[in-house]
Structure 1
């Protein structure tokens, strides 16, 4: 049987299998997080501040603040257009007060841990929420409020139990102090499950067309001779330029997904333009190239994109 005939049969079979088995629809996921970073002393490096803060909507930066400018500013055009001036004024005052709080508490932690003041230490706080959307229904998925010190987990809020958890001994005094004020824990839980979700939904509503509708990925396939074994080929599928980052990339043989432990994956990585990329590769016998395809599904596609390697030369 000629290669072209085999390819046609393979393509027809794949389409038949694809539409006999309905695709599982994944819930659309969205997130809103705020990240605060405080250094124990200035480092005098461009773009690195003793205190900085940012908001991230679906992993895109929407606002920023730093200890030099001392002003909360929009990082997306739709934020600048939709949010009123008092939002930025109140946000600036809030972050100035947090800057003072962080400066005090970095010093407290250094003393508690008996760290040298001449060394650089970092205190970070990440808090926010994630939701899942199916059709018009939006469900709270999880809330996170966690502190890190010098890159290690220090303290985090257990949303289900409404209490703080101390992974290290140095965080126990803080846990006890905060847990002894139940109303503060109630506020934290309420913010994560309600107020944060309300802001997330509002920002999503305000977002421009690009943010709402997303950006479709470009799909590329490559075939190269394996470096480790010259008798084999390394097939690679690269998808890039997509947003949001929820997407499906599956390498298949005869329309059947390959086990993940056979595949080399970079994981989803950010591009410089706030879109994302993902690369997956697998090594095969050279004469089996026509049996493989790259299956890509994304919310911006009306139907999945399936690309074969049989037309690609090594």
Structure 2
């Protein structure tokens, strides 16, 4: 199964694929483009447009194969997105009026896509969701061919869309035909990349001797993976805190799991292991050994591993952060905040 957006990617078959387009339009956000569109296929970024560069560009080499069929593809889609940029700007103003808001920071997020099963050649689902300032605003239900309005202010838009029979037919046609046709092309062009499996490097990290011990796995692909601690052969749930799967700048992923070792006896350390499990059955296991722990404090030989832990946890940027937030809670709350430095960040 393939798709432009795979909503339940962690529990379905590896033959599942999805495609997703995410639009982010902002108002009065410093150091952030006014308008951004990101295209994803199975969590892999394949294209991007933003209002600073004003160009839609491929983010994977295999996406350039599109020009073999349509030499004008990138130019034509760039021009359409320039028009979308103005539409989104106007829509933010309409939403501000409808919600009785004036100045300040405002974010409009839209994502749409489809999911297709390549074994049965069936459309599994289609997705179209609107979020304003981190709250659900409007959601399309392909199965019932209706729009769901989570807030009262969205009801006029729901009625407008549903009363426009031509528009409703066009949205159904897009999700069940046009989107899937493009998805099939993407899968054909990028099959070797989309079907790849990369195992991670696994490190044991600890900030101070009293800090939890972190098992950090980075560089794996795809993101259908599980990281856990076990004692002997039994998976641990108590004293373990798992982190979210996060994207790396190269398209791979990272994740971590913390273990509280404050009450651990020296003779028991060898009974603990950190295990990374990639969907499909491949595993990497690392036994707990004090000699393998990388730290920011002095080791037994007096050396200082300065900055090791901090370097392991560098994140990639706001766009990918927005994607993680939206995918984590596609029908939930995503708080869009400004940091003290003025940069945009997400809190799921």
TM-score (norm 2): 0.69
Counterpart-to-counterpart distance in 2, 1:182 and 1:313: 64
Q: Is the 8 A contact 1:236 1:281 kept in 2?
A: yes
1:61 is displaced (CA, Å) by 2.2
1:60 aligns with 2:44: yes
1:275 aligns with 2:234: no
CA distances 1:100-149 after superposition (whole Å, capped 9, x unpaired): 32232222222222222x4332222111134567xx56664443211111
> Which residue, out of 114, 120, 124, partners 1:129?
114
Number of the residue aligned with 2:308 = none
Classify the secondary structure of the residue corresponding to 2:222.
coil
Provide, for residues 204-260 of structure 1, a one-character-per-residue CA deviation record: whole Å limited to 9, x for no partner: 2212744431432112245788627xxxxx54322101121111223222212223x
Structure 1 residues 81 and 251: CA distance shift in structure 2, 3 A: same
Equivalent-residue separation in structure 2 for 1:139 and 1:255 (angstroms) = 41
8 Å Cα contact 2:273/2:287 also seen in 1: yes
* Offset of residue 171 of structure 1: 0.8
User: Residue by residue, what CA displacement relative to the aligned partner does 1:140-191 show, whole Å, maximum 9, x if unpaired?
Assistant: 4443211111222111112222111111111111011111123423432342
Q: 1:196 aligns with which of 160, 179, 192?
A: 179
263, 268, 277: which is aligned to 1:297? 277
Partner of 2:235: 257
Q: Does 1:175 align with 2:175?
A: no
**More displaced, 147-156 or 72-81?**
72-81
Residue matched to 2:133: 150
Any residues of structure 2 matched to 1:201-212 within 5 Å, and which? 201-207=184-190, 209-212=192-195
Which segment drifts farther, 282-291 or 154-163? Answer: 282-291
Alignment of 1:35-54 (within 5 A): 35-40=22-27, 45-46=30-31, 48-54=32-38
Secondary structure at the aligned position of 1:143 is classed as strand
Contact 2:42–2:194, Cα closer than 8 Å, also in 1: no
Counterpart position of 1:108: 94
In 2: Cα distance, 1:61 partner to 1:214 partner: 16
Among 2, 13, 21, the residue aligned to 1:34: 21
Secondary structure at the aligned position of 1:213 is classed as: coil
Q: Any conservation in 1 of the 2:39–2:45 contact (CA below 8 Å)?
A: yes
SS in 2 for 1:85: coil
Is the contact between residue 252 and residue 294 of structure 1 (CA under 8 Å) also seen in structure 2? Answer: yes
Larger Rg: 1
Residues 109 and 297 of structure 1: is their aligned pair in 2 closer, same or farther, counting only changes over 3 Å?
same
Measured on the aligned residues, the alpha-carbon RMSD in Å equals 3.0
Q: 1:78 aligns with which of 33, 55, 62?
A: 62
Contact 1:296 1:304 in 2 (8 A): yes
Q: Residues 172 and 283 from structure 1, CA distance in 2 versus in 1: closer, same or farther, beyond 3 angstroms?
A: same
Q: Distance in 1 between matches of 2:95 and 2:244?
A: 35
Inter-partner Cα distance in structure 1 for 2:117 and 2:217: 24
CA distance in 1, matches of 2:13, 2:50: 35
- The number of equivalent residue pairs is 277
**Normalization by structure 1: what TM-score?**
0.76
In structure 1, the residue corresponding to 2:101 is in which secondary structure?
coil
Cα distance change, pair 258–130 in 1 and its aligned pair in 2 (3 A) = farther
